[in-house]
Amino acid sequence: MKAPALPADESYRLAQLRALNILHTPAEERFDRLTRLARRLFGVPIALVSLLEEDHQWFKSIAGQSGETAPRNTSFCGHAILQDDVMVVENALEDERFHDNPLVTGENPVRFYAGCPLRTPAGAKVGTLCIVDHHARAFDAEDCHTLRDLAAMAEAELVAFQTATSDELTQITNRRGFMTLGQLALNECQLKQLPASLTFLDLDRFKEINDTLGHREGDRALMDFADAMKVSFRHADLFARLGGDEFVVLFNGLQQADAEGVLERFDRLLQKQTRDLNRRYQLHFSSGIVEFDPHHPLSLEQLLESSDERMYAAKKLRKQTR
C-alpha cells in the first residue's frame, strides 16, 4: 500500500479548509442531494463529499454507507487531492498504490473509485466529491465531465456556507457561525469529558475612535483586533465577532486559569501590533471568562450570558479605577 503524500501547500491547504467553518457540522440536505444524485447518475453504491483534515478524512455527506471519518493514510481521497483533475481507479486490485490497501482487501471492498478535487476560491484543494463501487468498471471522458459538474456544485455550497458564517468586515466567524460551531464543540467536550472556557471580549472606548477618527478608522481597529486573534489563538479555539465591538472566544480543552494566561498573551501581542502599525489609537478590551464543566454542562447560550455579565462587571470596575 502507498500512503498518500502531503501536498506541497499542506499548511496553507489546512488553513483554507478550516476557514470554511464547515468541519464537523451536521449533515445538510444541500450536500446530501449531490451525493444522492451522484449515486443515481453513475449507478454506484457509495458517493461522498470528503474533506481532508491533517490525519483523517471527514465526510460532510455520505450516501450509501455509514460513518463520519476515516484515516487519511489509507484514503483514496488523499491521493486524489494531489491531482488537478478527476482521479480514476477502474480496478484497485491492479493499481500498485491500492492493491493491498485494507479498504481493498477488507469486507465490502473498494474496487472502483473516481474523485474530483474540491477547491476553495483561493485554489486550495480541501477534499473531493467521489464515488465508489465494489466492482471494477470503466469510466469515460463523459463520466469525468459529469463528475466535474457535480464537484463544481459542491464547491459552490462550500463557499455559500463560509459566506453565511463569516463576518464580512473582519473575515472571522460571525454570530451565526459561532452559535452553530460553538455548541458542536461543547457537545464534543461533554462527550470526551474535556474542559473548555468561554470569554466575552468588548473593546474599551471604541466609540471614541469612531467619534474622533471616523468610522473608517473604527473599522480598521476592528480588523486589527480580529487579525491579532488569528495570530494568538489555536486552530482548536473558536473565535468570532458577535457584532459591533463585541467578540468571543471558546477555548477548547482549557480550564479558566489557562485561558486567562492566553488572554494575557493576547493583550501583549495586541499592544505590540498596534505600536508596530503606528496606529493613532490603543486597543484595550474588557473580558469575562466562564468555565465549561463537562460533568454539569451548560448550554452555549447560558455560558454567553454568564460571560457577558462578568465582562460588563470588569468594564465597570475599569471605568471606576481610571
Is the Cβ–Cβ distance between 108 and 134 less than 8 Å?
yes
- How far, in Å, CA of 48 to CA of 129, rounded? 6
List CB contacts of 14: < 8 A, sequence separation 6 or more. Answer: 53, 54
**Which alpha helices (H) appear in the chain, and where do they start and end?**
10-19, 29-42, 77-80, 102-105, 141-165, 175-192, 206-213, 215-232, 256-276, 300-320
Secondary structure class of 200 (helix, strand, coil): strand
Instruction: Name the nearest CA neighbour of 304 among 231, 227, 200, 220.
Output: 200
Burial status of residue 58 (CB atoms within 10 A of its CB: 0-12, 13-18, 19 or more): buried
Question: With contact defined as beta carbons under 8 Å apart, do 32 and 61 qualify?
Answer: yes
Q: How far apart are CA 288 and CA 65, in angstroms?
A: 44
Q: What does DSSP say about strands 125-133 and 196-203: parallel, antiparallel, or unpaired? A: unpaired
Q: Are 217 and 275 in contact (CB under 8 A)?
A: no
Is-contact 47 39, C-beta < 8 A?
Answer: yes
Length of the chain in terms of residues written: 322
Helices (H) and strands (E) in the chain, counts: 10, 10
DSSP classification of residue 92:
G
Give the C-alpha separation, 169 to 200, whole Å. 19
Here the cell at position 159 is 463557499
- So which residues are the catalytic ones? 245
In angstroms, the CA 217 to CA 298 distance is 38
